[in-house]
Amino acid sequence: MEILILEENKFDDKAAEIALTQIKNKPNSTIGFATGNTTVGFHKRLAEKLLDEKVDISTFSTFNLDEYVGVSSQNQSSCYYRMEEQFFKPLKLRKDQINFLNDLSEHEDLQQRCIQFDKKIEECGGIDIQFLGIGLNGHIGFNEPGTAFETNTHVVDIDLNTRESKISVFGSLDNVPKQGVTMGIKSIMMAQKIVLLAKGESKAEIIFKSLTGPATKDIPASVLQLHPNLVVILDKAAAQKINQ
C-alpha cells in the first residue's frame, strides 16, 4: 500500500497524472471511474491533460462503478450525466468506449445487466486501474457495510445514511433512489491497480479504520488493504488520523 498525503491543490493533479501515465503506457487501457464529489476535479483535470498533451484516446475504454435504478442518464443527478459533463463530453469519447450501467429500470432484469457488465469487463481483459471514493460508512461503490467480499456486480438497496448524504444532489431524501447497481467487491478487487481517493476532515475517521483496522465486511473499504497494488491519495484533512 502506498499512501500519498497532499495539499488539496495538488490532489486532483496527482490522481490525473496516475491515470494519464496509464493511458500513455498502454493506449488500450481499461479504466474504472467513480462518481462523487471527491472525483469531480480529478475527472476534469484528466480530460484537460489528455487534450493538452494530445494523447491518443481512441483505444482506451471506461467502466463506471455504479448507477441508480430508475434514474435516466439525462437526469443531472445520475452518475452517467455527471461523468458525461466532467469527462466523456470534453473528450468526445465514442459510445463503444463507455461502459456504464445507465438507464436502469426497476421493471427489467437487472441481474442480467449485471452479468453482462462483468462479462464485458472480462472481454476487455479486466480493469487496469480502478479509481474509488469512500463513503462515511466505508462503502465503495454502492457496496454497503455487510456486503460479502466475494460479490460480483449486483443490485443493492442503498443504505439510509448513504441516501441522506446524496440529498444535496437530488434535492430531497424522497428523490434519492432506494436502489442501485454496483460493481461488487470481488469485481473491484480484480483490478490490476486500485487508487483510493479521499478528501476532507469528515473522511479522516473512516480512512483510519479502513487502512489500519482488520479487513471486515462491516467496513467494505477495509478489504482494499489486501490488494497487492493499492495507492491511497489523501489531502491533509483526510489524513490527519493516519498521521497521528
State how far the Cα of 84 lies from the Cα of 125, in Å rounded to an integer: 24
For residue 167, give the C-alpha cell.
440529498
Give the domain ranges of the chain.
Answer: 2-239
**Which amino acid would we find at residue 198?**
A
For residue 219, give the C-alpha cell.
467496513
Distances from the Cα of 104 to the Cα of 79, 91, 113, angstroms: 12, 25, 9
pLDDT in tens, 49-100: 999 999 999 999 999 999 999 999 999 999 999 999 999 999 999 999 999 9
Nearest to 151 by CA among 188, 108, 121: 188
CATH topology of domain 2-239: Rossmann fold (3.40.50)
Bigger pLDDT: 168 or 188? 188
Residues with active-site annotation: 66, 137, 139, 144
- Local confidence band at 165 (pLDDT 50, 70, 90 cut-offs): confident
pLDDT in tens, 199-236: 999 999 999 999 999 999 999 999 999 999 999 999 99
